[in-house]
Amino acid sequence: MRDIIGMENTVLNEMTWDAEAGRLLFKDVPYLLIRPETLVALQKAVEAELGERAGELLARGGHTGSALSTRRYREAFGLGTEETARFIVRMGREIGWGDFRLERLDFGAREMVVSVGRSPFAEAYGPASRPVCHLIRGVVAGLAEGSFGAPAQAREVECLAMGAKTCRFHATVRSG
């Protein structure tokens, strides 16, 4: 499938649909299509109940998915560490999570910076006084962990919902 600027979407091209099971698959890994507003409604409901702890729980979910995908696609495609990071970032864009860009991948400092333009989570959330892209933050932490081979954490240092032009995530290996 080609988008309006002619770039090929390799994920959509290779996605399969199991009609009997009602499943979408990419490389035998199940995926689902869901509107960002659905996830943001869930996020806001959980935030109303749990406060800031909700963001950490959502990030944990993003981390799990990213860690699983990082391992799976490294093995499936025989990719090196940097190639895997670039693939996962490209995949984020191709599955509709925004304009993912790997801005920095520093193996010496063990840090990574990922920007996400047009974050569907920030756009659906609306104006906020704090960063709201917790699922993506978790994805970036899981990707950093897979890239650096050690537990990592990520922070959303800029967020579209707060008025920034893009969302930006900074991930580092946890100290201690």
Q: Where are the domains of the chain?
A: 1-33, 36-173
CATH number for domain 36-173, candidates 3.40.640.10, 3.60.9.10, 3.30.1380.20, 1.10.443.10: 3.30.1380.20
Q: How many CB atoms lie within 10 A of CB 15?
A: 16
Measured between alpha carbons, how far is 95 from 50 in angstroms, rounded to an integer?
29
Tell me the mean pLDDT per 10 residues along the chain, length 176. Answer: 60 92 92 95 98 97 95 92 96 95 98 98 98 99 96 98 99 89
Quick check: 64 and 142 in contact, CB under 8 A? yes
